[in-house]
Chains A and B, each alone.
Chain A
């Protein structure tokens, strides 16, 4: 009936069954299932890029400049003879890696700060929230752009820049959820028996906030990929000669009239990756929200 009836921590067996339940829920949802399949295909292609790609993504074949898609070069070649298919695969790998790292970092740091802020309350909460609001007043792309430009182009700096840009949203949402959780009787009971705050947050707060964090994470994954692409498009993201979908789009714009494949294929990879992640986020929200059942 109330939180007090719940066990203090989710046991491993329950956790596994809950993960399976979420997966089952996703598979039952037609949109979620489709998105999951698409994302799995993209993930597999990116992970196994070294085995799938027929060419080195950096190798310039100078007799194959701007060749249209063919049986040899499925997505054609770029302006210095590199295979677009191989570059798109490796570029997707970079995008997914950046997205994953951003999600891990924002979920761990932003989530932790949000939980502490929501649980502790008082002046600490006020200070944290004002700082987050200051960050939140600037669009995340602008913050990321500013930081990436300051740090210089590298994958590592892109991860830092995008994480800082996404961080306030996590802090705010997790904090709000933590305030709700804090009101439950089982938290009060844990306090009464003298459990330290950090333990309460980790063992009682965290498991109950995971559904929200998962939905947020899946959406942030897509946003991170888009921002990475935008930063690379603007020349402050993934440095050359490494491929990234954003860099490939930026390079392709010069040849949009004569070699549209330079835009179409990386653009499609970017679109389906982000679309799949967003649809999974929506489906996850439906699966995890009891009101939607």
Chain B
């Protein structure tokens, strides 16, 4: 690894610059240094570029639904946010569960529910007290037929010994259970939602910081402050600070940009590229240029059924050919070198210097030597299937194509749409394939999807008993530090033994906000978890 870092002065310089950039980007933009006391009141407007087709959290995984429900509902456990927490980093925060205990064998979780919580004053629930029966009803319905069913795969039983306790027993250890319960779809509903008391497609009753006052598809979802919300700030202030929130479903990108520039939108949600951001910045004085690293990354899958890719040295050579740092800087304007576990998962991906040494230090000379060793001194030609994720992604593929050409490998680009490309991946019907990986929120998701036999992203057919054992071992480690070490060990093993797929780049994500907005921390999960602590200049 160090050898890689010393490969060239230019590469080292770029690596160090990227290291600094990565460190800066790993955390959301820090607010102004002068701390002001939050001011209650006011209103913010967010754009979410889709309507909610309904409000039933069990029926849909759509962001239009869950981003709206997040303002009115709570989960048992939430994603914490703050200046010291990275965009994709899960830090468990008590929500409806005030605390929890895990048995020594890791198979029993006991959750102590927050007392004094009441449902929003909406009929027919009308402000009654929240109890464990609500949690039980919600989880039973989810396990029976909700979109969340898979998140309970390791759960054996769920019981409620009293009004304020929930006990879960597991079939096997599952270190990601807390994160599963904090999943963006895991909203807790009142028991009446499952006994025919009201239509959960149309009515939203939660315990969250705001109450939906009206929802007009195509126009606005309007929220007003829930006076009975239990949340408190670190300084003991009653949350939320904002009296009102509007979510505007502006679907056209240019219309969204115009609305933001005109001050109609305070917080941006959704795709935006750097060129558009520059245009917005030029028009909006004091704009908060909030940037994070995307929790998706480009990955090159090399099918071992194609003879050259069966040789580890060829895969290593290709890895050494790609100048990722320059590519990310030129095409994406920022971001971070990819990893076996993507860089958005700041605590789980390999440390920046190690990841850059592994994947961000091109060495064409060494690459050519490896190719020669593998019997491909004259290079070879392969079909490079590229999924069409837009102009910037295609430009990355062209960049990679030229880097590979420099070591004698001709990549003939074949563009396919994303659905067709994923089908080709599942069928193993490709030679080399470049795609954007799913937005995973946990290292375990990377491992199980990519490297276990039958994994949905195991497009290269990896079936390595030693690796499988390592993956299963990390699933049972409860101690966070020990698990982090094991997760790193797995990534090093994959880099040394498989080098497939080749992680490429995780782009910078832009979340601009108007200058008057304070305390805004974008987070990977839907539902805007930092919004209760957002306040605005009046």
- Additional pairs, 10, CB under 8 Å, beyond known A62-B330, A258-B275: A80-B331, A80-B399, A235-B388, A235-B394, A240-B397, A240-B398, A251-B395, A254-B275, A254-B391, A257-B278
Contacting residues, chain A, for B273 (C-beta < 8 A): 254
- In the docked arrangement, what's the CA distance between A239 and B416, Å? 10
- In the docked arrangement, what's the CA distance between A132 and B350, Å? 61
**B-side interface size class:** 20 to 34
Question: CB within 8 Å of B: which of A231-265?
Answer: 235, 239-241, 250-251, 254-255, 257-258
Contacting residues, chain A, for B377 (C-beta < 8 A): none
When the two chains form their complex, are residues A235 and B330 in contact, meaning their CB atoms are under 8 A apart?
A: no
Contacting residues, chain B, for A258 (C-beta < 8 A): 275, 278
23 cross-chain CB contacts under 8 A? A58-B402, A59-B402, A62-B326, A79-B330, A79-B331, A79-B395, A80-B330, A80-B331, A80-B398, A149-B417, A152-B414, A152-B415, A152-B416, A235-B394, A235-B415, A239-B414, A240-B398, A240-B413, A251-B395, A254-B275, A254-B391, A258-B275, A258-B278
Contacting residues, chain B, for A255 (C-beta < 8 A): 275
B484 within 8 A of A: no
B residues apposed to A, CB below 8 Å: 273, 275, 278-279, 326, 330-331, 386, 388, 391-392, 394-395, 397-399, 401-402, 413-417
When the two chains form their complex, are residues A60 and B402 in contact, meaning their CB atoms are under 8 A apart?
A: yes
Instruction: Enumerate the 3 nearest inter-chain pairs by beta-carbon distance, A residue then B residue, closest first.
Output: A241-B398, A153-B415, A239-B415
A residues apposed to B, CB below 8 Å: 58-60, 62, 65, 79-80, 149, 152-153, 235, 239-241, 250-251, 254-255, 257-258
Contacting residues, chain A, for B415 (C-beta < 8 A): 152-153, 235, 239-240
**Chain A interface secondary structure, helix, strand, loop or mixed?**
loop
- In the docked arrangement, what's the CA distance between A60 and B402, Å? 7
Q: Which residue of B lies closest to A252 (CB)?
A: B391
B331 nearest CB across to chain A (Å): 7
B240 nearest CB across to chain A (Å): 37
- In the docked arrangement, what's the CA distance between A257 and B399, Å? 23
- In the docked arrangement, what's the CA distance between A235 and B390, Å? 8
- In the docked arrangement, what's the CA distance between A284 and B402, Å? 46
Contacting residues, chain B, for A240 (C-beta < 8 A): 386, 394, 397-398, 413, 415
- In the docked arrangement, what's the CA distance between A97 and B202, Å? 57
When the two chains form their complex, are residues B398 and A250 in contact, meaning their CB atoms are under 8 A apart?
A: no
- In the docked arrangement, what's the CA distance between A152 and B414, Å? 9
Asked, given contacts A62-B330, A80-B398, A80-B399, whether A239 binds B279 with beta carbons under 8 Å apart, the answer is: no
A182 nearest CB across to chain B (Å): 47
- In the docked arrangement, what's the CA distance between A58 and B401, Å? 10
Q: Which residue of B lies closest to A256 (CB)?
A: B275
Contacting residues, chain A, for B275 (C-beta < 8 A): 254-255, 257-258
